[in-house]
Amino acid sequence: DVRVVLPKLAQIPEKYMKDMQYLGNFNVPLGWRNCYCGLFELRYNGVIWYFLDNEYYFDRQMPYGYYDDCERMAFFAKAICECCAHLPDFFPDVLHCNDWHTAMIPMLAKTQYQGAMQSGLKFLLTIHNIAFQGKFGMDYVQDLLGVDWKYYTSEFLELNGCANFLKAGCV
């Protein structure tokens, strides 16, 4: 039973958008605020696809390449963790994280979502392009994610003076 979670990007063709079913919404804690996240489902070619909606972060001309990509992907990673509690009659055994954009999920699951994430959940991280690692300022990332400062070390998250999302996923 494979399911896919994606941001509900503006580039998704209308023919798929119209077939999505709204499942509900929840809040995602990000920094000092709680952000709306809509949950949609699409059944296509025998696969269930979930789409996480927040127009502020995802209604843009391109999937990424913006000044606030750190915040956008921090939201997406936390939204995936939150989403697991809202999926109808399903919880994954393995969560496949793709590249730096979702590489913080294993760390978040172990540091902030132990109760919400099923014990025994396994993670798989695929690196698409090692040149792009999701490197951002430590203070900025800490403010967004709220991960305890003890993880902002070279042992976990820090690399060359930056918070490195891909490194966190590898660790």
Average pLDDT value for residue range 34-52: 97
d(CA 123, CA 90): 17
pLDDT digits (tens, 9 = 90+) for 142-161: 999 988 899 999 999 999 99
Structure tokens that stand for 112 in this block: 């902030």
What local confidence, expressed as pLDDT, does residue 26 receive? 97
* Whether pLDDT at 118 is above 80: no
Query: How confident is the model at residue 115, as a pLDDT?
Result: 66
Average pLDDT, the chain: 93
- Say whether pLDDT at 113 is over 90: no
Distance CA 168, CA 127 (A): 12
pLDDT value of position 29: 95
The residue ranking higher by pLDDT, 66 or 117, is 66
Please determine, for residue 43, whether its predicted confidence score (pLDDT) is greater than 90.
Answer: yes
Position 85 scores a pLDDT of 85
User: Half-sphere exposure (CA, 13 Å, Cβ side) for 52?
Assistant: 25
Reported confidence tier of residue 116, pLDDT bands at 50, 70, 90: low
Q: How far is CA 83 from CA 16, 34, 90, 99, 164, in A?
A: 21, 14, 11, 19, 24
In the three-class reduction of DSSP (H, G, I as helix; E, B as strand; rest coil), residue 34 is classed as strand
Q: What is the average pLDDT across 102-108?
A: 95
Q: What is the pLDDT of residues 49-91, one digit of tens each?
A: 999 999 999 999 999 899 999 999 999 999 999 998 888 888 8
pLDDT at 89: 87
* 142 DSSP assignment: H
Look at residue 117 and tell me whether its pLDDT is greater than 80: no
pTM over 0.85: yes
